[in-house]
């Protein structure tokens, strides 16, 4: 391999890895679209669709060389992802929305008697929401794709 070939490869790698290059924007857009689709599929798989708010809140944004992806504008998205304690008022609201969702869609009726329910209610009326990660699962399942896409874009 000649020195000229090595210099050309280095130039190609630098151009492809430049944060403002069109190739990098195209790569980030491709990765964002794939991750967004996987997160939406995870929401559908865990039957967390009532009025489509959580499903439609999944978006990705590209700023310079940064890809940000997640749920925007939905306050209960973090509770769905990580779980957490709930007050009496939040438990009542969750049951209300669950009843409304069962009227609108064909919600799995076996959730009422499930061994691992989504919402556990304490005797005092407070509760705990079991985390159902949709973002972490998408990142985990699409990790090989992301690594392969970056390698293909950066390495000639």
Q: At residue 78, does pLDDT exceed 90? A: no
Is residue 98 located within the same domain as residue 31?
Answer: no
**What pLDDT digit, counting tens, does each position of 49-67 carry?**
667 788 888 999 988 778 8
Does one domain contain both 34 and 107?
A: no
Does the residue 3 lie in any domain? yes
pLDDT tens column, 13-31: 556 556 567 778 888 889 9
- Cβ(81)–Cβ(109) under 8 Å? no
3-state secondary structure 6-66: HHHHHHHHHHHHCCCCHHHHHHHHHHHHHHHHHHHHHHHHCCCCCCCHHHHCEEEEEECCE
Total count of domains within the chain: 2
Judgement on whether residues 107 and 124 belong to the same structural domain of the protein = yes
The model's pLDDT over 88-100, given as tens digits with 9 standing for 90+, comes to 888 888 777 777 6
Residue 18 has a pLDDT of 61
Residue 79 lies in a domain: no
Q: Please give the residue that has the higher pLDDT: either 107 or 155.
A: 155
DSSP 112: G
For the question of whether the overall pTM of this predicted structure is more than 0.85, the answer is no
């Amino acid at each position: 391999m000649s020195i000229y070939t090595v210099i050309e490869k280095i130039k190609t790698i630098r151009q492809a890895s430049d944060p403002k290059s069109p190739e990098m924007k195209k790569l980030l857009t491709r990765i964002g679209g794939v991750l967004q689709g996987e997160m939406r599929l995870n929401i559908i798989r865990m039957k967390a669709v009532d009025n489509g708010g959580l499903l439609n809140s999944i978006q990705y944004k590209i700023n310079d060389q940064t890809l940000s992806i997640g749920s925007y504008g939905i306050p209960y998205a973090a509770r769905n992802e990580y779980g957490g304690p709930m007050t009496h008022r939040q438990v009542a609201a969750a049951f209300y929305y669950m009843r409304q969702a069962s009227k609108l869609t064909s919600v799995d009726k076996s959730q009422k008697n499930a061994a691992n329910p989504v919402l556990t209610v304490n005797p005092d009326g407070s509760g705990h929401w079991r985390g159902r990660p949709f973002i972490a699962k998408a990142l985990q399942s699409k990790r090989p794709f992301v690594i392969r896409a970056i390698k293909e874009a950066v390495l000639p």
